[in-house]
Amino acid sequence: MVENNSSTHTFWELIKSDKIVIPPLQRDYAQGRERNPEIEQIRNSLIDEIYESLNTDKPLVLNFIYGEKADDRFVPIDGQQRLTTLFLLHWYIFKRAGFSEGLEVVKGFSYQTRVTSERFCENLCDTTIDFT
């Protein structure tokens, strides 16, 4: 029997309570790969929505993300691209702000699609980056 525990959570609430693990059945993150005007419009629209949300404190609704919670892990079946975008956005803001506690929390995001993707996520929060 499948249990339906549908509820609304922010990315921050989810990653603070569970590790987010992108399973091998998902493809790698692909935002920005295609040079297609329709895809670019979708991407630009998403950036505009994120920007508006950050500047107006308006909730950003990214539709449904489906997955399974087991123990302290959330494994998405659908929504991997959205979760990765939110992970990268949180990482960037925390890194720029020097918010080390937040960086420790987002270390709970991981990919199992490829070893290089997994290592990228593991090392990103500890990497020193000069943003100038």
- Percent of the chain beyond pLDDT 90? 32
Give yes or no for residue 1 having a pLDDT over 80.
no
pLDDT of residue 26: 54
Q: Across the strands, what pairs with 74?
A: 20, 69
Report pLDDT digits (tens) over 115-124.
888 888 889 9
CA 123, CA 71: separation in Å to the nearest integer?
Answer: 24
pLDDT-derived band at 64, boundaries 50, 70, 90:
confident
Report pLDDT digits (tens) over 71-115.
899 999 888 888 888 999 999 999 999 999 999 999 999 988 778
Q: What is the mean pLDDT of residues 2-9?
A: 64
The pTM assigned to this predicted structure is 0.79
CA 112, CA 98: separation in Å to the nearest integer?
Answer: 28
pLDDT of residue 79: 83
3-state secondary structure of 36: coil
CA 105, CA 114: separation in Å to the nearest integer?
Answer: 22
Q: Sheet holding 109-111: strands in order across?
A: 66-70, 73-78, 19-22, 109-111
Report pLDDT digits (tens) over 20-59.
998 886 555 555 556 778 777 877 888 898 889 889 988 8
